[in-house]
Amino acid sequence: MKKRLFSCITVLALGTMVFAGCTSQDTTQTAESKKGSVKVSIVGSTTVAEPMEQLAAKYKELGSTDNVEIQGVGSSAGIKAAIDGTADIGMSSRELKEEEKAGIVETVIAYDGIAVVVHPSNGVADLTKSQVKDIFEGVITNWKEVGGIDQDIVVVVREAGSGTRGAFEEILKLIDENKASTVVETAVVAEGTGAVMASVATKEAAIGFVSEGFLDETVKAVSVDGAAPTVENIKTSKYTISRPLILITKADIKAEAQAVIDFVLGDAGQKIMAEKYIPVKN
């Protein structure tokens, strides 16, 4: 009788241990499954979206199972998405307006120069900031007025809501007292950085503006007040048309989204930002 009772107790104990082991394993698998299913949505500036795609790929490569989704829809849309909570992180390539800052945390991840670009065949190599402003407002309308050939200038700008356009207008004071753009009404509007590059590259009389990090041989960047839009000149403030690249979140950011930001500010993330922009950490 005692032997039978002991056997029963032993079986019960072993069964409990097996059950506990299974429960522990199931819990671990569930936790891992949950971690892998967590989505971090990042929405906003097309300028910031390009390096963020690279950062997200590297983040995953280094072992994260979090799902990072990036949408380049413009800075204003990204700021709004962060404010109303439809995105975990907003991306902006311009300074936030005062009315956009309430309850928002801004994290600068790099700095960028906005290059003034013309067709490669254009003989004009340097403009003053005042001349750039006058060209985009339609005060100067012919290249001969700034040392070029007798040819009407074609102004190319980004779409409304673009962070690059917003920063460019703010820096050059292309905004009136009612906060409306003073860019000439005949300007060609291009949706996205790539479209600006393509438009300027195919129009000999064109002038536009793009992030310094996107420059290539299809367009020519002109110097402004004698300074070319190089990383060194932007760092030393010799080239003055520059802006921060910002990630925007609410104060109560979820842990998975904060982990992404921490990665961007870490050594690996800043190394990627340094490929095209000026990192905040050397």
Q: What is the pLDDT of residues 30-88, one digit of tens each?
A: 334 344 568 999 999 988 999 999 999 999 888 765 689 999 999 999 999 999 999 99
**Can you give the length of the chain in residues?**
282
Q: What b-and-e string marks burial along 87-97, b requiring 16 or more CB atoms within 10 Å of the CB?
A: bbbbbbbbbbe
DSSP H helices in 209-282: 231-235, 255-265, 267-273
pLDDT at residue 36, rounded to an integer: 53
Domain with CATH 3.40.190.10 in the chain: 38-112+244-279, 113-242
**CA-to-CA separations, 125 to 46, 94, 115, 116, 275, in angstroms, rounded:** 28, 26, 12, 10, 25
How much helix, strand and coil, in percent to the nearest 5, is found in the chain?
45, 25, 35
Residues 86, 179: Cα–Cα separation, whole Å: 27
pTM: 0.68
Cβ-defined contacts of 253-259 (< 8 Å, 24+): 253/88, 253/89, 253/105, 254/40, 254/88, 256/38, 256/40, 256/66, 256/88, 257/40, 257/88, 257/89, 259/64, 259/66
Residues of the chain scoring pLDDT < 70? 1-37, 64-66, 282
DSSP H helices in 112-266: 129-137, 163-171, 193-201, 231-235, 255-265
User: How many C-beta atoms surround the C-beta of residue 12 within 10 A?
Assistant: 10
Distance of alpha carbon 73 from its chain centroid, rounded? 10
- Domain 113-242 matching CATH 3.40.190.10: the answer reads yes
pLDDT at residue 34, rounded to an integer: 42
CATH number of 38-112+244-279: 3.40.190.10
pLDDT at residue 63, rounded to an integer: 74
Residues 40, 71: Cα–Cα separation, whole Å: 11
Residues 21, 36: Cα–Cα separation, whole Å: 23
Distance of alpha carbon 210 from its chain centroid, rounded? 13
Residue 65: phi and psi, rounded to 5, are -105, 5
